[in-house]
Amino acid sequence: MPAQSLNRRSMLLGTGAAALLAHRAGAAALNPALPAGTREEAITVVLPGKQPLIKLSWRPPNYETPLEGFTTPLTANNQFFVRYHLANVPTEAELANWSLTVGGEAAGSEVKFSLDDLKGLPVSEVTAVCQCSGNRRGLFSPHVPGVQWGIGAMGNAVWRGVKLSDVLAKAGVKPGAVEVAFRGADGPVVEATPVFRKSIPLDRALDGSVLLAWEMNGEKLPIWNGFPVRVIVPGWTGTYWIKHVTRIDVLAKPLDNFWMAKAYRVPRGVFPATQPFVTQDNEKTSPITEIIVNSLITAPLDGAAVGAAGFTVRGLAWDGGQGIAKVDVSLDGGANWDAAALGEDLGRFAFRPWSFAAPAGRTGSLTVLARATNAAGAVQPAKLVANPAGYHHNVIAAITVTAG
């Protein structure tokens, strides 16, 4: 039966098998601002092929990367977060005869591709952050419904595959096409659950940046991250990055389903986008699209003791593709700011590492803040931008340390 084996395995992970591979997530792994219920239920689990991840839900499987997974700008495959909307996830064995069908009412013809067929096309590569739209939702105050993610529903990898535009060219695109829709091999447990199908604007699909990737950080995609092929939409949130993609349709009218018309939407105009998704706008809301400028402090740990002789603050910054222009750090809760040193530039869609050498002489409790600015001038805000679904949490990063 298609897509059943991993569902059964997930059930086992939730009962007996995972008990040998799981333990309560420690205080260092969980932000104290997460809701109490999340902290009480969170455990770290070793999924097949993964290092310990923080479990947010068993079914569908949702596991976030602990802070230690972000000590380097590339996120290791075995530490990369896991995000599903539907609980029936296929196994590698069930995908052994995988194929991709490209068609739709606005395609010139229907074409079927094997993995070898895709690999026969010109190969492209991009380093890009995949970030769940709800990353840090659990840190919203007041809390909002949904998976209560901390900081780890994201990761940065080198993705290798083929341009979606090259694949669409094989099928042809008719005049009047407006969107391109994707569907994967994962499915619902209950028939009434809406199939997870997403679309992107035609111009984005054809701009050469969107990939169909079979490789992640030089290795084949892990099953948990989309094996054998997934969609890569650099700069846009992960809701469009369909895993185990099996069908692509060129559409003559906007896709109208739950996942487009109801879910993954933000109040219109609150989060301006450089590439608006106008065919999916309505009077009150717009679909979430671009990742907005953000940063993370990876060292020292929140609550750590540091030396009065000086210490180094390290972290990552990223956005939706404008590129990071600067990161400023404050050691006094925002009264004064100094520029951090930017590390290697892995590309405009990637994590940008940064560091700041705190001078000697400071003692006592210090509130350390990090604030990123992108090349378009967008700056992390000091206050949360409220929205009903808890998207785009990008408040200035903050930790407290004790120097002495």
272, 290, 308 - which closes a domain: 290
- CA–CA dist 206, 213 (Å, integer): 16
Please give the structure tokens belonging to residue 175. 């005049």
131 and 257 assigned to the same domain: yes
290, 323, 357 - which closes a domain: 290
Backbone angles phi, psi at 299, to 5 degrees: -160, 140
305 and 252 assigned to the same domain: no
Residues 40-95: tens digit of each pLDDT:
778 899 999 999 999 999 999 999 999 999 999 999 999 999 999 999 999 999 99
Residues 170-196: tens digit of each pLDDT:
999 999 999 999 999 999 888 889 999
123 and 184 assigned to the same domain: yes
The model's confidence at residue 28, banded by pLDDT at 50, 70 and 90, is very low
- CA–CA dist 90, 99 (Å, integer): 14
Distance of CA 67 to the CA centre of its chain: 15
What's the pLDDT score for residue 23? 60
87 and 114 assigned to the same domain: yes
Which of the two residues, 227 and 2, has the higher pLDDT score? 227
Q: What is the CATH number of the domain that holds 28?
A: 3.90.420.10
pTM of the model: 0.93
Residues 203-222: tens digit of each pLDDT:
999 999 999 999 999 999 99
Residues 333-351: tens digit of each pLDDT:
999 999 999 999 999 999 9
234 and 303 assigned to the same domain: no
Number of domains the chain contains: 2
Check pLDDT > 90 for residue 200: yes
Domain that residue 305 falls in? 294-403
Closest CA to 154 of 27, 69, 244: 69
246 and 322 assigned to the same domain: no
Mean pLDDT for all residues in the chain:
92
Backbone angles phi, psi at 17, to 5 degrees: -60, -40
84 and 192 assigned to the same domain: yes
34 and 94 assigned to the same domain: yes
DSSP 32: T
Closest CA to 99 of 279, 299, 244, 285: 244
Check pLDDT > 80 for residue 17: no
Check pLDDT > 70 for residue 10: no
Opening angle at CA 123, ends 117 and 124, nearest 5: 140
223 and 129 assigned to the same domain: yes
Q: What is the CATH number of the domain that holds 350?
A: 2.60.40.650
Mean pLDDT for the stretch of residues 132-137: 97
Which residue has 């219920």 as its token pair? 37
Closest CA to 394 of 129, 159, 26: 129
Mean pLDDT for the stretch of residues 301-327: 97
Residues 147-161: tens digit of each pLDDT:
999 999 999 999 999
261, 290, 319 - which closes a domain: 290
124 and 103 assigned to the same domain: yes
The model's confidence at residue 31, banded by pLDDT at 50, 70 and 90, is confident
What's the pLDDT score for residue 24? 59
215 and 97 assigned to the same domain: yes
395 and 312 assigned to the same domain: yes
Opening angle at CA 388, ends 383 and 393, nearest 5: 40
What's the pLDDT score for residue 22? 57
